Structure formats: structure tokens, C-alpha cells
Amino acid sequence: MSENKRIFLSSPHMSDEGYEMEYIKLAFDTNWIAPLGQNVDGFEKELCEYTGAKYAAALSAGTAAIHLALKAAGVKAGDRVFCPTLTFSATVNPVTYENAIPVFIDCDEKTWNMSPEMLEKAFEKYPDTKFVIVAHLYGLCADMDEIMRICREHNAVLIEDAAESLGTTYKGKMTGTFGDYGIFSFNGNKIITTSGGGALVCNIADDAKAEERIKKARFWATQSRDPARHYQHSEIGYNYRMSNVVAGIGRGQLKVLDKRVAQKKAIYKKYSEAFADIKDIHMMPVADFCDSNCWLSCLTLSGDKVQPLDILLSLEKENIEARPIWKPLHLQPVFAGCDYIGENNVAENIFNSGVCLPSDTKMTNEEIGKVIAVIKNLWK
């Protein structure tokens, strides 16, 4: 291992077999570079087969998928949307595209995801709310039975942000397939990547309705072109579709997704075992009901000896990439003034005490050993 070779947090990892290039070649050979074509159709079908989702629309980004999920759910200007506070801003930005109002909900310690108890409290405060977004952070899953029970009780539409949790199951079922709508991201650092991309899936019980919603999302994603010979538009549209070349990368990546999940889990296990003897280190909690894809291995610290910044700086000195936990959205300047429902500042505590460790599936055992050694050295 060369001294200066950077160790990444989570970088793109194409298949050894070259599957992605085969599908890209197919696009080139048939001159279906753009706009849509066989790879987009194939990717949507294969994503549904993998996850168990009913219908999918391949899009340019996970953020675009959240935006179209909100539109399909019927979110309008002035509507309140309950959102997790501990997540990446992309989970919530599209709420503001529609001029709707996010209300941030704290997470719980058991899952690091939306607290069902705080969600109940939010409905007590704002009983007429009709929309909830739940995220599955770092590949951990929210307590979906409870979240869905509460949404059903309040007749609220549930959107599941599974950008980070493709391959994670909750009680044996894939995340992203519980909510009325689910979204995935294929951004460069995700467990599989298309260089950039996302997908919207619809899981509502009525098959015909689910198909119709996805068709509508594809319509919005291609500039809302009415079925007329001339260019006619009755609705505002977007340029949100995935290209046929990019979808080819996705088809190849899906073939190695199980392998990547196994590799990410092995990384989490190595860290857990290595840090078991340091009482100040607490690996992110994987609940009994969650079979996590371990997208990022994260930890929190207790005690005064070592702070998260000490870990980040020590790793950076060795050319190793790590990052803080997402800063809760209710603390972000851009969302100042939005309401927050929480009692024990769980998200804030995780943010203040947490670190995301390198979780790159291309890391060698030697490199993981180096990360561990740098961190353990801080307790010497």
C-alpha cells in the first residue's frame, strides 16, 4: 500500500466482471444514447425485481424522486410535511420547491431514525397534517410498523427516503417498499451508483393506481408533454429522467449489489470487533428488526478523552476520508423558523458525538487496519 493513497468514505465501485460496460456498449451499439431505451426499461424492471417494489421510474437524482413523490402524493403550497431532522438536506429541500412547510421530527436512540413517539406528538400538535417523509439513515431502518400505524391512523401519505438504504430490510422486507412512495439514490457515494441518478417507486395497494402514479411521474419528468403531435403543455414539467447510458451502469451495478451489502456489513463488523474494548466508542445501533446494508459505519463517542473532531483530524492527517454525522435540519440556518418536535435532542446529541467512518468497499484489510489503528491510537 503506497503511503499516500487516499482511503475514501464511500467511492464508486464498478463490478470486476465489467457488467456496466456491457450495458453501456448495448446503448452505444443500438445508438440509444438518449433519451430513454432498453437500459432504462431494464433498470426499472430489475430494480423492482430486486426490491419487490411494484413500479419504478428511473430519474436523474434521488432528490428529483423525492420532488416527484411529493407531487404524486398531492402536496400543495402551504401543506405541512412531517420530516426527519437527522438527515441530509436533500430529504427536505423538495418540500420547499412545492412551497410546503417542513416540520422536523426528532429521531430515537434505538434506530437513529424518526421517533414514532415524536411523530405522534407532531400529529397531536398538527392533527390535519397529511404527509410524512421518513428516511433510513446510513442504511439503518426506521421502525416502519409503528410509523405506518401512525400514518394510517391519521390518513397521511408516507414517503420513504431509502437513498442510503438500498438492500436494507426491515423484518425481511426491503426498505423503500413500505411507504406509499419510496425513493432511491444512485449518487456517487451510494452503495451502488450510476454516477448520478435516482428512482421513484410506488407501493400503493391498488395496482392500477400505482402504475398510473408512476406513469404520471414519468410524464412530469419529461417536461409534461401532453399527448399531442405539436408541443402542448397543460402542466409544469421537469427534465428529471435518467439517460439510457446511465441506466446501463445501474443495471450492471444491481448485479453486484448483494456483494456490496456483504462487503459493507463486513466493514461494520470489523470496526465493531476492533473497538469493542474501548468503552467510549459506540457503533451505530442496528435494531433487531433491521438487516442493515451498513452503507456507512458510524459511531458515537462518550467520555471526555476523545472528541469527534480528534478522529476526523487524525484520519485526515493520514489521507483518510471521514465525516461528521448530518447536522440536524432544524439547526440549519436555511430552515430557521420551521417547527421542531423533540424532547431530548437525540439528533443533536448524535450529531455532536458522532463520526462516519470510511466504509469504502474497495478498502483492503490492511487499509481498514490502518483506520482502526489511527483511531485506537487516540486512546493510548
Ligand X SMILES: Cc1ncc(COP(=O)(O)O)c(C=O)c1O
Eight-class DSSP state of 335: G
Contact range with ligand X by CB under 6 A, out of 41-49, 55-63, 69-77, 149-157: 55-63
Distance CA 249, CA 194 (A): 5
Question: By CB under 6 A, is residue 111 in contact with ligand X?
Answer: no
Q: Are 105 and 123 contacting, i.e. CB atoms less than 8 angstroms apart? A: no
Closest approach of ligand X to the CB of residue 364, in Å:
26
Q: Which residue matches cell numbers 408541443?
A: 231
Asked whether the bond before 308 is cis by omega within 30 degrees of 0, the reply is no
- Sheet containing 354-357: give its strands across: 281-283, 297-301, 354-357, 323-324
Comparing CB distances to ligand X, the nearer of 26 and 63 is 63
Element (H, E) at 120: helix 116-125
Contact between 263 and ligand X per CB under 6 A: no
Q: Which position has the grid cell 433510513? A: 136
Rounded to whole angstroms, the Cα distance separating 172 from 250 reads 24
- Binding segment for ligand X (CB under 6 A), chosen from 157-165, 219-227, 239-247, 346-354, is 157-165
Window of 57-65, 98-106, 141-149, 238-246 that interacts with ligand X by CB under 6 A: 57-65
> What is the three-class DSSP state of 56?
strand
Residues 299 to 328: which contact ligand X by CB under 6 A?
A: none
> Out of 90, 174, 355, 375, which residue is the one contacting ligand X (CB under 6 A)?
90
Q: Beta-carbon neighbour count of residue 216 at 10 Å?
A: 17
Residue with the CB atom nearest ligand X in the bound state? 62
Using CB under 6 A as the binding rule, whether residue 69 contacts ligand X is answered as no
Selected range binding ligand X among 2-10, 88-96, 146-154, 341-349, rule: CB under 6 A: 88-96
Cβ distance to ligand X smaller for residue 293 or 374: 293
Nearer to ligand X, 281 or 297 (CB): 297
Q: For every residue of 55-104, which 3-state class applies, written as one string?
A: EEEEECCHHHHHHHHHHHHCCCCCCEEEEECCCCHHHCHHHHHCCCEEEE
Shorter beta-carbon distance to ligand X: residue 68 or 341: 68
Strand (E) or helix (H) holding 24: helix 19-29
Q: Which residue has the cell 456491457?
A: 22
Site residues for ligand X, window 167-226 (CB under 6 A)? 185, 187, 198
Could you say which of 51, 63, 168, 169 contacts ligand X (CB under 6 A)? 63
Residue (250 or 281) nearer to ligand X, CB: 250
Q: Tell me: does residue 88 bind ligand X (CB under 6 A).
A: yes
Q: How far apart are CA 315 and CA 322, in angstroms?
A: 7
**Residue 304 CB coordination number (10 Å):** 7
Instruction: For the CB of residue 146, give the shortest distance to ligand X in the complex, in Å.
Output: 20
Instruction: Tell me which of 39, 51, 87, 361 binds ligand X, using CB under 6 A.
Output: 87
C-alpha cell at 360: 469504502
Residues that bind ligand X (CB under 6 A): 61-63, 87-88, 90-91, 135, 161, 163-164, 185, 187, 198
